[in-house]
Chains A and B, each alone.
Chain A
Amino acid sequence: MTATVESTVSAPRRGTGRPAAGLAPALAGTVTVGLGGAAGLLGVLGISGHGGGVRLGWLLPLAGVDFAVSATAGLFMLLVGLVAVAAGVYSIGYFRTSGASTITLAVAPVFTAAMLGVLAAGSVVTLLVCWEMMALASLVGVLSDHHRPAALDAGRWYAGMTQLGFVAILVGLVVLSASGGSGDMVLLGRHAGRLTPTARNAVFALTALGFGSKAGLVPLHVWLPRAHPEAPGPVSALMSAAMVAVGIYGLVRVDVQILGPGPRWWAVAVLGFGALSAVYGVLQASVSTDLKRLLAYSTTENMGVVAVGVGAGMLLIDYHRPGAAAVAIAAALVHTVAHAVFKALLFLSAGAAVAATGIRDLDRLGGLAVRMPATTILFAVGALGASGLPLGAGFVSEWLLLQALIHTEPGSGTLLAVVMPVAVGVVALSTGLGVAAMVKAFGVGFLARPRSPEAAEAREASPSMVAGMSFAAAACGVAAVAPVVLSAALDKVLGETPGVGLSAAPSLGVVLRLPGLAGSVSPAVLAAAVVSVTLAVVVLAGRAGARRRPAAVTAPLWTCGAGPLSERMEYTATSFAQPLQQVFDVVLRPEVDVEVSHAGGSEYLVERVRFRSRVDDTVELRLYRPILAAVSRWAGWVRRAHPGSVHLYIGYGAIGVTVVLVVAR
């Protein structure tokens, strides 16, 4: 059987223009690491309450630039700093081996600086300027290999979506600061009450739309699975781990802290779109055969889970359950941090695999465990975190989120009684399928036998790449067993959030406890127990009966007597995910065609079977294609007014000026 699966192959050599000289990657990487370190420092200052304001009036005419780091911003700066340090160290080796133009090299530092600017912004204007810089820098990153049609296409989608999102945020924040009477972020929080209900609702809808699209929430996620895979390894790590978190920062800072607490439908909307994103993202990830696309869909899933946490928190604030609300918001924040570290690690190690083989298609990868042991182990650490299992980085936050949902007391309202079980179901479904997606990425991509000559000749990543990934892996380990490092920051952030119970902030020591609520778990003790008992079982099973046992040998695998194992006998990512694809075919709508050509006209003798399978993004097909078609139809109508006649254009001018004069009179 021939299995053809539509896939894109990215060449290891990227970039246009002049390849950078030997020292340039090191310089760019060092600058990124420096920015990351500075961000960490500023973040700690912000969390400890010393993030005071800096005003640079000369930098921007009329408005000036203001920086003031709140505790919330401090937590996110710490997050961006962690990702930037890992990506910076990694980028030195990555760009040295794969080659990049000077412009591509400049992307990572500029992008990092812009993200930090957004977080540190003390005024609306500063935030908007830095936001646009962040969008442009990442767009350049996506287009660093702009000779390939897929990258160009991704760039177009990304540019369109990010600019629409920017417009939404721009209008929203301008309305907010106009009615609030100030552009200062701190003052806005105090004056937001002055807004009329209609203006408040409009500002919420616009900002949530803009920030949600940056976080990759369905249905505004379509740019994400295209753009993130196209960017070079370190840039895609920055985009998928740090930039989406900046979207969540906007949602928390503007919509929960400054505007909130709001009407009930805000919370339901955030929770609903979060739930949709979690389920849709994980379904797409579990059937995706492109390694980086799979990770990008997993980002949508995780941001969906974060939004479920934020939405549940908003709803619980509204129902005056400050304790459970604190746990829900804390869960969302911890998950954002955990996602940043494990997704950075996953994108960096996937980038190393792609750079070593030139292949993103899981159906042609495999066997990297032997050729690239360090990268394989590091990817496994990230995948464990992403699957939300105990011992992994994602477990603590999933546990906190589920606890917040459990501790919604029964009988507290019909809406809660309907929404909470659905939220539980969504989180549960996304956990189960998330494990399937990660098992596929790791098991098919890195274990088993190489499925292509390129994978068979892969070489281990360079030392600086391994160092960058190891840094991210160490952060994953800390997030998994010692979440206590986040405790202080969480307390401060919850203190900045109106309506939550500060005394109910979860304590994240060796044993995680929820003050006032029953329930505890200790990831550190669990990890220690599982590891020590595993070692004990290995030793005991090795001893038992050892005297009677002949010496150990290596033997060939059982292949049903069909000779040595070849890569054509192996299960691929497509075949691995086939049962899931069949179970969920109503949602995924895969395009599958099987062509059978018969030998000698007999319907029993088969000469050749050709199998093609392709899963497209249903949201893109059903929602965006009609919209794009409508826009282009509309543009066709408008074009009729442009026949090229100068006389007509002068006439338009005259009419236009008259209309302006009449209106302005």
Chain B
Amino acid sequence: MNPGGILGAAAQTAAVGLGAPGLVGGMRQVRARMEGRAGPGVAQPYRDLRKLLGKQSITPEGTTVVFAAAPAVIAAATLVIAATIPLATTASPLDGAADLLAVVGLLLIGTVSLVLAGLDTGTPFGGMGASRETTIAALVEPTVLLAVFALSIPAGSSNLAVIVADTLRRPSDVLSPAGALAFAAIVVVIIAETGRLPVDNPATHLELTMVHEAMVLEYSGPKLAVIEWGAAMRLTVLLGLLVNLFAPWGVAGRHAGLVGVAAGLAAVAVKVAVAAAALAAGEVYLAKIRLFRVPELLAGSFLLGLLAVTASYFLASPQA
């Protein structure tokens, strides 16, 4: 555990916490401009959060602590991930405590707590959203684990710092068949996990199409603010993970100082912004697909993951 690592972990956690709403605002702005609208500006999510935090706290009748605690659990699980993964630095003090499998588990904890909150309300909307989200999550989870495997096998470890260091040492791994297949699988997974088009429409408020929005329908005021913040952080963290797993250049190493961490932070911010803009631009050309077509999409990405793992077993060169 070194001071540079602690500093880097603190900096990247703060950056995710503060920057996530801006990222969402930026994505909305990109979409708005491409659709010919003026858009509300990048800072609109911050104004929304401030407004929600000032509103009255309303407890829906008959809900339990599961409903009340879910927003905080999502936000907390995402913050722990943000402190762990190599965004600005690979030397996070938590790196040895959580590998890629644990990160996937933490993401799922967030999903599960929101699903239970949806069920806890007992309304048809809550149940509907929970049922759909569970179906998607149950099919996403295997794909994620397979993609994780495909990445871990060449590096010989599932610890993120090791994987990133391995990619830096041998950049050709990213372009290997296993790397490319894993990349495709993870992109599909991120789209499904964060509820973007074509799996879920983040802007919808129609019961026939909602997944995420249906589960959070009963939330209002400060709790809704925490949920919106948590969802934005989730998107940021997943995009950060994607860019640094496949293009880790710029990330601060084990012995980097203050300057190295600052450079790492700037590098990851730029990379995430580019990835987010690309995602938002891609969404303009897509329509939401039917719920029962989503499993076909996910089965496709499961197959990509399986091929990636098989390819890495067959094609990777044995190493010490």
Contacts and interface: CB of A to CB of B under 8 A. Distances in A.
B153 interface: yes
Contacts of A550: 56
B313 A565 contact: no
Contact of B130 (A405, A443, A536, A554): A443
A439 B156 contact: no
A402 B151 CA distance: 13
Interface residues of B, number: 95
A553 B314 CA distance: 61
Interface stretch (B20-28, B217-225, B264-272, B281-289): B217-225
Contacts of A560: 124
B119 interface: yes
A410 B314 CA distance: 7
Given A369-B66, A387-B112, A583-B135, A425 B142 contact: yes
Given A449-B122, A549-B221, A569-B124, A530 B77 contact: yes
Nearest to B207: A560
A411 B72 contact: no
A115 to B, nearest CB: 33
Most A C-beta atoms less than 10 A away, residue of B60, B123, B128, B162:
B123
Judged by DSSP, the binding face of B is helix
Contacts of B143: 428
B204 interface: no
A435 B138 contact: yes
Contacts of B2: none
B14 interface: no
A389 B225 contact: no
A522 B61 contact: no
Contacts of A443: 115-116, 119-120, 130
A582 B138 CA distance: 14
B134 interface: yes
Contacts of A405: 149
A421 B141 contact: no
B131 A541 contact: no
Interface string B153-195: 1111111001000000000000000000000000000000000
B134 A439 contact: yes
A424 B310 CA distance: 10
B98 A522 contact: yes
A391 interface: yes
A519 B99 contact: yes
A64 interface: no
A96 interface: no
A153 to B, nearest CB: 31
A216 B119 CA distance: 32
B310 A421 contact: yes
Nearest to B79: A533
Interface in A521-575: 521-522, 525-526, 529-530, 533-538, 541-542, 544-545, 548-560, 565, 569-571, 575
B145 A541 contact: no
Interface residues of A, number: 91
B218 A558 contact: yes
A403 interface: yes
Interface in B203-225: 217-218, 221-223, 225
Contact of A433 (B64, B83, B138): B138
Contacts of A391: 109
A370 interface: yes
Interface stretch (A332-340, A412-420, A615-623): A412-420
B130 A583 contact: no
Interface stretch (B37-45, B100-108, B242-250, B254-262): B100-108
B115 A409 contact: no
Nearest to B221: A549
A424 B130 contact: no
Nearest to A569: B124
Contacts of B122: 366-367, 447-449, 557, 565, 570
A312 interface: no
A578 B137 contact: no
Given A439-B134, A526-B102, A432 B141 contact: yes
B130 A571 contact: yes
B62 interface: yes
Nearest to A513: B96
B36 interface: no
A292 interface: no
B194 to A, nearest CB: 17
B146 interface: yes
B309 interface: yes
B306 interface: yes
B313 A520 contact: no
A406 interface: yes
B218 A557 contact: yes
B94 interface: yes
A432 B96 contact: no
Nearest to B143: A428
Given A439-B115, A569-B124, A579-B291, A522 B135 contact: no
B132 to A, nearest CB: 6
Contacts of A525: 94, 97-98
B306 A425 contact: yes
B317 A410 contact: yes
Contact of A533 (B66, B80, B125, B223): B80
A580 B138 contact: yes
B142 A436 contact: no
B103 to A, nearest CB: 9
A537 B75 CA distance: 7
B123 A558 contact: yes
A539 to B, nearest CB: 9
B139 A389 contact: no
Interface of B: 50, 53-62, 64, 66, 69, 71-73, 75-77, 79-80, 83, 94, 96-99, 101-102, 105-106, 108-109, 112, 115-116, 119-128, 130-132, 134-135, 137-146, 149, 152-159, 162, 217-218, 221-223, 225-226, 291-292, 295, 302, 305-306, 309-310, 312-319
20 contacts: A369-B66, A402-B101, A411-B318, A421-B309, A428-B145, A440-B134, A449-B62, A533-B75, A541-B223, A553-B56, A553-B59, A555-B58, A558-B123, A558-B125, A565-B122, A570-B124, A570-B127, A571-B127, A579-B135, A580-B135
Interface of A: 286, 366-367, 369-370, 387-391, 395, 399, 402-403, 405-412, 416-418, 420-421, 424-425, 427-429, 431-433, 435-436, 439-440, 442-444, 447-449, 511, 517-522, 525-526, 529-530, 533-538, 541-542, 544-545, 548-560, 565, 569-571, 575-580, 582-583
The 6 A-B pairs with the shortest beta carbon distances in the complex, nearest first, are A571-B127, A432-B141, A518-B157, A443-B119, A545-B53, A428-B142
Given A439-B115, A520-B99, 19 more contacts: A389-B112, A409-B156, A421-B146, A432-B142, A439-B130, A439-B134, A447-B64, A448-B122, A533-B79, A533-B80, A553-B58, A557-B60, A557-B122, A558-B123, A559-B123, A559-B124, A570-B123, A570-B124, A571-B119
